[in-house]
Structure 1
C-alpha cells in the first residue's frame, strides 16, 4: 500500500478536523480570483495564476496537508475540518475555482496544460459530489486513525519538523488543536448515531485498544513525549527546561484526559450504537454512496457489478497460473494443499525480524541494477527499509511506503510489518519490494514530487487508481526484468496479484451485495495462501475505506491496456522507456486523462 497516499490523505483528513464551531461565527466564503485575460496575459498565464492561488488557498484551509507537502507556514495549526464553517469554506473553495477555470478557453492551452486543466476540473467536480455524503459523521476508523497519525507526526521522523524552539512550540499548538478535534469528533459521531451513519461494531472493537494503548501512567511514557526525548543539543538549558515543563503539563493535564475521554466514548457510548451490518449498503443511501466511492477511487464510471465480474474473471485466471507453478515445482497435493504448505512450513519464513529487513536490502540492490534498462527518468531521492513501529504493527498493513521529504532532507521509507513473520513469506518479498519501493511507489511518488514546471496541485495531488495501478504494473515489470526466474518468487507475484483481484470481488461483495465479514474472509481463505491474520486485516480495511481497494487492479489493467495499444500501433517504433516517461512525468492522473495523454503520444510517434 502506498503510505505516501495515505500520509497525504491523512494530512487532508487531519486538516478536515478541528475545533468546535461558535454558532455566532461569521462564515467567510473562499473567493477565487476573477479570471480576466488581458492583452498582456495569455490564457496559459491566467490558468497557471489561478491554480497557483487555488493551491495557496487549499493549504491555508488544510494546514496539516501543507506540512506534508513541505510548506511550513501553518505548522502551528491543526485545522478546522469538522465544523459547519469549514464545510462551507471547502464547498466555496471548490465551487468558486471550478466556476473560474471554466471561463478559460481550454483549447488555448498547451498539450500538457490541457491535461492539467482536465485534472483540475475533475478534482473540483469529484470534491463537490463527495460533499453530498455525510463523511464527517465517521471522522476516524481503525485504519485511518487521527490519533496514530498524530503520533507519527510527533515522532520526529515524519513531516513535522523539530529543529528549532519555534518548531517545538508549533507542535505544541498543533497538539492543542488536536485536543479540540477529539471533542468535536465526539459531537459529529453523536450526529452520526442519530442519523444511523456509524461504523460496524467490529471496527469499533479495533479502535478501542488503539486508544487504550495511548493511555499511559505518566507523560514521559507517552509517544507524544517523543519530541522532548529528541531535544537538540544546540538548545539552551533554559529552553530545554521550559519545553520539557510545557510538554509535560500539556500531555498530563489536557492530552491524556481527552484521549481517555475519547476512548471511553467509543467504549461506553459509540459501541452500543455501532451497526451490525458490515458493508456500506447498511447505511442510509449506502449503495449510491458506495457507487460514488468506487468511481472516485478508480477514477472511472464503471458500475460496481462490472467491477465485481472483472474480479471473478481475474481470480479464475490467476488460480490457473498458480496451479501451473504447483505442477512446475512438483507438489503432489492440490492447490489448497499447496497454499497450506507455503503459508505454514517453516522454511518459507524468517525466524528473526531483522533477517526480514536485511533480506529486503539485498533485493533492493538486485532491483537497482536492472532499473536503468527500463527507465530514462529515475528519482533523485533514495529510500530506506524500516520495520513498522511496534505501537501500530498489530493493525497496520503488511507493508507500506512513505514519500521522501519534498526538500530532500528525508528519504522515502519502505515500511515492512515484522509483527507476524509467517505473514511475510520469503517467496513474496520480490514482488512486495517492486510494489512498495522501486520501481513502484517510490519511483512514481518521488518523481512526481521532483517535477518542475508543473502546477503545485499536480505535484502533490494523487489518484489511488493511478498510484496503486502503477505499483501493481511495477510487479508485472519484474517479469521482464528477469526477477522471477525462481518459481516460488513468481508464485509470490501471483499471490499479490490474486490479492488485488480478490479485492474487486470482496469489496463490491461487502458493500453492494450484502456479504458479511465472515463471508468475505472465507472467500479470501479459499482463493489464496495469505495468512489468516492478514486476511482479517484486509477485510476489515475494506469495511473501513470502501472502494479504495478497487483501484489497484483497475489501474493496473488500464496501464497494461494502454501499453498493449501503444505496442500494437507503433510496432518497431515502440520505446518502453519513453512509454514509462509518458506515465510518470506529469504526476498522478485520472484514468481518462492518462488515456488521452498516451493516445496523443502514440499519435505523435506515428
Structure 2
C-alpha cells in the first residue's frame, strides 16, 4: 500500500468495526420490512441503498471520506463487546434479506450487485470469527493516523465555516473516547495472546508521540486555524472565541488522548508484545491467514501455491534485470549492479521539490498517450503532493487518495519524500502509472463517477481488483510508448519484482514461519531496494497480512482474462473496449469479473 488508497483504507479498515447502534438496527429492520411486492431488482436496489445509508450512520468517518457530511461531528463509536455483537447482527440481518430475493430474475448490473452484496455480507461475517479488534492500531494505519489526516485540514474534513470547526471539535471528543477504548481492547489482546509483534508496536509509538506537543501551534491540528481569516461574515470577536475554543480542544482533548495511548503502549503494552511476526503464531492463526488470503485475492488459493508462483516470478524478473544491466553496459554481476543503483547519487533526487516537479512532468507525458488504450476517462483530475511530515516516517513510498465524489477535491497522488533514497529516479514512470493514470486514479475515480451504479458499489474496495488493476496498468507502459529509457524499464521491473517478492515474503511470514530478518535478507538479495525501504516493506506485510498478495495475483488474473478475450475474439478484439469492460462496473471480486468478461466475449462474437 502503499497502501495506498487512503480513503478506501479508512472504509475497509473501520467499517467492519463500526458500531451498530440498537436504534439503527431497528430502523434497518423497519425499512427492509417495507420492501414488499416489488420486482426483485427494485427490492435489491432499495435493500443495498438502505444498507449503505445505515453504514454511513454507523461509520461517520467513512461518510466524511465519501463526501456525505451530515456526520462530520461524530467519530466512530468506541470499541465494545456490545458493538461487535451488534455489528454481527447487522450484517446477518442484511444477508438474510438478500437471501430472500430470487436471483434468477436478476440480470446485468442487478445480477452483479446481488452477487457482490451477498459476497460482502458473507465475508464480513466470516471475518468476525477472529479478534482483529485486539490489534486496532499499527504503523500502517488506525484511528490515530486517519484522525490526524482529517484534522490537518488537507483531507476530507471541511473547514469552510464556523459550523465546520465546531463539528470537528465535537468529533475530537468522540476520537478521544475511541482511543480510550483501544487501550481496553489492546489489554484484552495481551490477556488472550493476540498482540502486535514488538517491532510493529515500536513503530506506532512515534506516530502517537508526534502529536503530544507543548506548543499548540506546532500541532498538525492547529493548521485549520490558519484559515480562519478567510471565513466570511465573522467579527473579530467571533473569530477570537472560535480560536480559543479550538485551541482548548487541541490542548485538553486531542493531545491528552494521544498521550494516554502512547503512555499505555510504551509503559505497559510493549512488555506484552510478541517476538513472533506471523499470523500463524496467533490463536487460530492458520485459519485467520486463509481468511486474509480470501479477503485480499477473492480467489480460492493456498499459501503454498502463491509462494511457489512468487518464487518463479522472482527468478524470471531477475533474468530480465540482468538483460538491462548488460544493455546499459554495467561491468559486474547483478548484485554489484544492485549496489550501484542503491548508492550512486545520479539515480536519486536532491530535494522534495525536485521529486514533485519530476512526477508532475511525467503526469503530463502520460496524459497524452492514454487515448490509444482507453475510451473511458475519469472526469476528476489528480494532483501530485508530498506526504505530510506527521506521517511520512512510517508511510508507504507512494499512495493515492480518491477525489471527492462531488468534484470539489481532486485525487491526490502522494509521494513520500521523507527518505529521498527510497525514491529513485528510475521509478518515475512506473510509479506514476500505478498510483495515478491509468492505475488507481482511473479505476477509483471512474468507479465513483459511473452513473446508475448503486452507492455501495461506488465506494466498495477489493484489494485484488484495485491493486491488480494498478499493476496491470504498469504492464501497459510499453504499449503507451513509455519505458523507452532502459533505466525506466528497469524501474518497471523493480516494481514488478517487489510485487513478486511480496508473494514469497507474505506467505513466508504468515504461513511458513519466516522471521522478520529472513524476509529482509530475501528482499535485499533479490532487488536493488535500499535496506530502509525493505524493512518498511517487510513490516508492512507483518501488519496487514495478505494485502501484499493482491497485486500480482490480481494482475495475473486480469492479464489472463485479456489473453482469453484476445484468443476468443481474434481480429474483433478491441483493447479499449476490453479496458472499458474491466473498469466501467467498478471493483468486483475476481470470480465475478471472470464471469462478466466471459459473457461480454460471448456477446462480441
TM-score, L = length of structure 2: 0.96
For 2:64 and 2:3, the matched residues in 1 are separated by 16
> Does the CA-based 8 Å contact 2:18-2:87 persist in structure 1?
no
Deviation of the 1:84 alpha carbon: 2.1
Q: Residue 331 of structure 1 aligns to a residue in which SS?
A: coil
Q: What pairs up with 1:236-275 in 2 under 5 angstroms?
A: 236-275=235-274
Q: Is 1:99 the equivalent of 2:100? A: no
8 Å Cα contact 2:67-2:406 kept in structure 1: yes
CA contact (8 A) 1:379 1:443 kept: yes
Could you say if the C-alpha distance between residues 37 and 155 of structure 1 is closer, same or farther in structure 2, counting changes exceeding 3 Å? closer
For residues 118-517 of structure 1, the aligned pairs below 5 Å read 118-231=115-228, 232-234=230-232, 235-517=234-516
Deviation of 1:389 (Å): 1.1
Measure the CA separation in 1 of the matches of 2:249 and 2:34. 50
CA 1:206–1:466 in 2, change beyond 3 Å: closer, same or farther? same
3-state SS of paired residue (2:477): helix
Alpha-carbon separation, structure 2, partners of 1:353 and 1:486:
23
Alpha-carbon distance in structure 2 between the residues aligned to 1:233 and 1:311: 54
* Local SS of the residue matching 2:368: helix
Q: CA deviation at 1:311?
A: 0.6
Candidates 23, 27, 52, aligned match of 2:49: 52
Distance 2:71 2:237 in 1: 26
Distance 1:207 1:12 in 2: 20
Find the aligned partners of 2:339 and 2:30 in 1 and give their Cα distance: 59
Q: Any idea what SS the aligned residue of 1:31 has?
A: helix
Confirm or deny: 8 A CA contact 1:200 1:275 kept in the other structure. yes
Gaps of 5+ in 2: none
- Pick aligned residue for 1:117 from 108, 114, 119: 114
The Cα of 1:484 is off from its aligned counterpart by 1.1
Moved more, 164-173 or 429-438: 164-173
Secondary structure of residue in 2 paired with 1:157: coil
1:90 is aligned, of 87, 92, 97, to 87
Instruction: Please give the alpha-carbon distance, in whole angstroms, between the structure 2 residues aligned to 1:443 and 1:578.
Output: 15
Q: Distance in 2 between matches of 1:392 and 1:242?
A: 30
Number of paired residues? 602
> How far 1:509 sits from its partner (Å)?
0.3
268 and 27 in structure 1: CA distance in 2 versus 1, 3 angstrom threshold: farther
CA contact (8 A) 1:309 1:505 kept: yes
Distance in 1, Cα, partners of 2:46 & 2:434: 36
Equivalents in 2 of 1:28, 1:594: separation in Å?
32
Aligned to 1:5: 5
Aligned-pair CA distance for 1:102: 1.3
Write out per-residue CA displacement over residues 13-57 of structure 1, whole angstroms, 9 at most, x where no aligned residue.
Answer: 456668999xxx999565374468766x32111111111111111
Residue 80 of structure 1 corresponds to: 77
- State which drifts further: 82-91 or 198-207: 82-91
Query: Is the 2:4–2:398 Cα contact (8 Å) retained in structure 1?
Result: no
CA distance in 1, matches of 2:565, 2:24: 51
How far the C-alpha of 1:130 sits from its partner, in A, is 0.4
The CA deviation at 1:86 is 1.9
Measured on the aligned residues, the alpha-carbon RMSD in Å equals 1.9
Gaps of 5+ in 1: none
Under a length normalisation based on structure 1, what TM-score does the superposition of the two structures give?
A: 0.96
1:600 aligns with 2:599: yes
1: distance between equivalents of 2:349 and 2:73? Answer: 43
1:207 is paired with a residue of what secondary structure?
Answer: helix
State which drifts further: 80-89 or 28-37: 28-37
Q: Report if aligned partners of 1:16, 1:62 keep a CA contact under 8 Å in 2.
A: no
CA distance in 1, matches of 2:213, 2:31: 49
Q: Secondary structure at the match of 2:385?
A: strand
CA contact (8 A) 2:325 2:337 kept: yes
CA distance in 2, matches of 1:13, 1:83: 16
How far did 1:360 drift?
0.8
Matches of 1:423 and 1:36 in 2, distance apart?
Answer: 56
- Which sits farther off after the overlay, 291-300 or 514-523? 291-300
